[in-house]
Amino acid sequence: MAEGDDEGFFADGGAVWTVHAGTATFVAGIRALLIQALHPGAMAGVHDFSRYREDPIGRLTGTVRWVICVTYGSTQQAHAETARVGRLHQRVAGTYSTDTGPRTYSASDASLLEWVHLAFTEAFLGAHQRWGGPIPGGADAYVREWAQAGRLMRVPSPPETEADLRSRMDAYLDRGELRNDARVTEVVQYLRDVPFTGSMRLAYRVLFAAAVASLPRQYRKLLGLRRTPLPVVTATRIVLAISSRALASGPRAQDFARQRHYRLQHGVKAAPVTKREPATPTAVDDRSRQR
């Protein structure tokens, strides 16, 4: 992140940096996967090609890597990482069954690309609105800025306002393109009980419950999920606060991105970012530092 010849697509302190730097992204990632699974084409690609069952951390790391590079990297890094993801998607194609017979799908289909972008944007915006702070420029600024990521992934005309985002998602429901089936049930069960251990397992259960509770009602109903009667919103604030303290103890991607900004603005090499020891023990897995 400290390398590169420009400041990247998104400004330090802007809407995208603000949302993606927050620990509410831990809830948002789960929420996005739940929503994305409702599209049978996207679900077929996950079922046929993803290694999430054998290597959940590796699968997660690949996605996080793309988000970090696009958010904080130079434009060259963002394009390179997007190209890497595109090469992986080239082999993702096949068929899935519908009420009217088999239908072909490809990871490059415009409809699938749009749905994945919409679900990601909605999930990260919605989780931040519930557990994050103010967004510079408001929700519309985040949707408008993150539309650049959609364009990188060749999403045709991504939404640029919150109202348009939600209208387009509602259209998928109105057209009957979303559904729950055995494959969705399998993924939901896996996401409910990801094989973490120790305190990380307990924290993840809270985050999953938070993702379910924060889902718009129509998606929660379609997934067949119910909100827990426990005070999950408050419990999530506690988990995210602990996570935030852990992340504050060491360098993050935006710290290195700011090095690049400083170097480009002042024509000098910025001081190196050094790791700081945490003030107190934490239950957060060290792998979370990869954010």
pLDDT digits (tens, 9 = 90+) for 79-89: 999 999 999 88
What rounded mean pLDDT belongs to the chain? 88
φ, ψ (nearest 5 deg) of residue 136: -55, 120
pLDDT in tens, 105-140: 888 898 899 999 999 999 999 999 999 999 999 999
- In terms of C-beta distances under 8 Å and separation of at least 24 residues, what long-range contacts does 198-202 make, across chains too? 198/283, 199/283, 200/283, 200/284, 200/285, 202/283
**Distances, alpha carbon 2 to alpha carbons 77, 83, 222, 245, 260, in Å:** 11, 20, 43, 23, 5
Contact indicator for 248, 256 with CB cutoff of 8 Å: no
Domain positions in the chain: 15-271
Question: Is residue 280 scored above 60 in pLDDT?
Answer: no
pLDDT in tens, 236-254: 999 999 988 887 777 889 9
Closest-CA residue to 214 (of 24, 31, 37): 31
Find out whether 109 and 115 touch, Cβ atoms under 8 Å. Answer: no
pLDDT tens-place string over residues 28-62: 999 999 999 999 998 888 888 877 666 666 667 77
Q: Where are the beta strands (DSSP E) in 74-224?
A: 93-98, 101-106
DSSP 8-state secondary structure symbol assigned to residue 195: -
pLDDT at 116: 95
Query: Per residue in 152-190, pLDDT tens?
Result: 999 999 999 999 999 999 999 999 999 999 999 999 999
Residue 8 contacts residue 74 (beta carbons within 8 Å): yes
pTM confidence score: 0.88
When pLDDT is cut at 50, 70 and 90, the band that residue 291 belongs to is very low
DSSP 108: T
Q: What percentage of residues in the chain have a pLDDT greater than 70? A: 89
User: Minimal CA–CA distance to 60: which of 92, 89, 32, 83?
Assistant: 32
Residue 234 neighbours by CB under 8 Å, 6+ apart? none
Residue 35: the pLDDT is 96
d(CA 120, CA 31): 8
